[in-house]
Structure 1
Amino acid sequence: MLNKLEELKERFEEVSKLIVLPETMADMKKYAKLNKEYKELERIVKDFHKYKEVVENIDNTRAMLATEKDPEFREMAKEELDSFQKEKEILEDNLKAMMIPKDPNDSKDVILEVRAGAGGDEAAIFAGDLFRMYERFAETQGWKVSLMDVTEGSSGGYKEIIASVTGEDVYGKLKYESGVHRVQRVPATETQGRVHTSAASVAVLPEMEEVEVDVNMSDVKKEIFCASGPGGQSVNTTYSAVRLTHIPTGIVASCQDEKSQHKNLDKALSVLRARIYEIELKKHNDEVGAARKSMVGSGDRSDKIRTYNFPQSRVTDHRINHTVYNLPSVVNGEIGDFIEKLRIADNTEKMKEGSGALTD
C-alpha cells in the first residue's frame, strides 16, 4: 500500500499544478473536478507525511536503544517508542480508511422518489408511511425536504411522491434506501383481519449540477399546465406546473409544487439530470461488469431490500440479515442504525479488497 500512497502523493503534486493553469480556470467542469480531487488527496497526503515522520522517529529511537547504555535514557526512549508505535497504528488505520474507494456522490443532495407498487390502495398508504419516515429522519439530520411532485392515493398516501433533500452528506446516508420495501400488515380496508403484503419502491438519486450532466435543451420537450394537487387557489388556476420530456431517452420529469413556473422548471431540470445520470451510470456499470457485488446491493430500485412486519413489530433488512423488533420507532424515522450497519458492511467489503499492511 505504500506504493499506492506514493502514487497518490505524486498525483496530488500534479493536480496542484494543473488546478492553477489558465486553461483549467477557464473550464468550469474541469476545474470543479480537479478541485474536488485536490481536497480529497490533500487529506491523504497530509496523513501520509505524518506517517513517514513517525516511522522515521521509530527507526531513530530503535537505533538509539541499540547503543544507549544509560538506564534512565533507555527508559525514556522506550516510552517514546511506545508512543510512536501507538501513533503509527492510528495513522495506519486512518490511511486504510481513506484508501477505501469513495463514492464521489456521497456529499450531494438527493432527489427522493417513493412510488406505490403491488398492493393497490394499501401500497399507496405504505408509500406515504415511508415518505414520512424519511421526513422524520431528515429532521434529525438537520436536512431540508422540499416537495417537487405529488400524486395522491385514492385512500390516502401517495401513488408517487418526489422531493429534494438538501443538507450534509445526504446521498452518502440515504443511498442505502434505494430499492423495494415490503410491508406485511392488515390493511384498514380488510374486513376479515388477514395480513396482506404490499410494496413500494424508493429511488435515491444524487442531484447533479449542470457541469456534471449536460442536458441539451433542444432535446427537451417542455409543457406547462395547471397544477392539480393541493397548494391553494393560485397554484391550481395558473399555468405554473412544468413537464419536461427528454426525447433521446424518453425520461419525463415534472414539478408543480411551486407557484412560479420558473422555479418549477428548475426543479424539473434537477430531476431530469438525476434520472439521466442514473441511466448513464447503470449503462457504465453494465459495460464494465460487476467486479464487486456489494452485499448491500447496487442501489437498484428493483432490489428487494427491507420488510416491515406490523403483526410482529419486526423490520428486517435482507442485505445484511439485520432484524429489529421496534417497528414503530423505525417508521417514526429511527433508521440511523440500519444505515450505519449498511455503511460498515459496505466499507468492510471494500477494505477486504484493498487489505494489506502499509509495508506491502
Structure 2
Amino acid sequence: MIVVILSDFRLSTFDCIMKGALLVNLGSPKSPDAKDVKPYLDEFLMDKYVIDVPFLLRAFLVRGIILRKRPEKSAEAYKKIWWDEGSPLIVLSKRMFAKVNQQVDIPMALAMRYGQPSILSGLQELHDKGVTEVLLFPLYPQHAMASTVTIEVLAEELRKKHFPQMKFTNVPAFYNRPDYIRELANSIKKSLEFFEYDHLLFSYHGIPERHIRKTDVTKSHCKIDGSCCNTPSPAHEFCYRHQCYETTRQVVELLEIPEGKYSQTFQSRLAGDKWLEPYTDIEINKMPEKGIKKLAVVTPAFVADCLETLEEIAMEANHQFKLNGGEEFLAIPCLNDGDDWCKTVAGWINQWATAEIPV
C-alpha cells in the first residue's frame, strides 16, 4: 500500500511539470522621440554588465554626461529607421516569435532585456499558463557580458523574487551550431546572388577589451593577440571575440569564400575605452583606396535588424563608403523572421521540450 502511494505521488509530481520557452532580445525605445529614448538609454547604459564600472562612476558618466545630449542624437537615428508598425527590432522579433510559436507545442513568451515587453512580464505570462520549467533563450549567437550574461542574471533575480518554484534551462551561445551556420550562410548566399561584390565584411558589435578578460574562466588565456582565439582553451566557451571569429571562419568555409575577399571588424563603440579592433567604420572608409568598390556587409552578432544594422551600417556606413570612393554597397539583412531560421529555432525548442537532446 505504501509503495502505491509513493508511486502515485511521483506520478503526480511529474505531471505537474510544464515546460515553456522565453525568447529574449535586446529591446527598443517606445518611440523615436527623445522623451522615450532617454529612459531606454538610462536603463541600458546603467546596466552594470554594459558599462561595468562602480555605480557612482557609472551614474556620473551616464546621467551626468551621456544622457545630456545622447537622447536627442539617438532619437534622430531611430527616426530614420522607424517603421509604421513601430521599432524594427520589436516588429521583427514579434514576427519571428509568431512563426516559431506555430511550430512548437509548449507555451512561449517574448521579452526584451530593456524596455517592453519586459522579462518580468514574459515570465509572468508563462507562470500564468502553468509553466514550471523555462527554456531561457537569449537571441544572441555569441556569448557576451552585455547580452547573454545580463539577460541570465536579471532573469534569475526575477525568478528568485517572484517565481521561486520555477526552473531555468539556459540556451548557450549558438555561434557554431551547424544549423545556425547553415542558415546564416544561406542567407548571405541568397543576398549575394545578384550582387557581384569585391569584398564581404563581417561586422560584429564591439565590446570593451576588458569584457573579454573578465569572462576568461582560465584568467590567463585571453590576451587579445593574434593567437589566443585560435588556440584551444576552455575560455572559448565564454569568449565573445573567439566566437565571432569562429562564426566567420565556419561561414566562409561553407561558402568557399577565398582568402582576401572577406574580413572581420567590430562596430558601435563608446569613447574612452579600448574596444575590440579593427573598427568597422575606419576599415570601411579605407576600402575604396584599396580597390574595393563593391562592398557587402553582414552583421552576425544580431538575429534581427535594428538601429545598429539599419542606421549604422545600411545608412551611415553606406554613405561613408561612397563618400570615400566606393561605388556599390549592400547591407545583408539579418536572419529576422525567415522561414528556415524560424524552423531551426522551433526545432531547438522542440528538442528540449521532448528531452530528445540537451539544448
TM-score (norm 2): 0.23
TM-score normalised by structure 1 residue count: 0.23
Q: Which has the higher contact order (CA 8 A, sep 6+)?
A: 2
For the pair shown, the structure with the greater C-alpha radius of gyration is 1
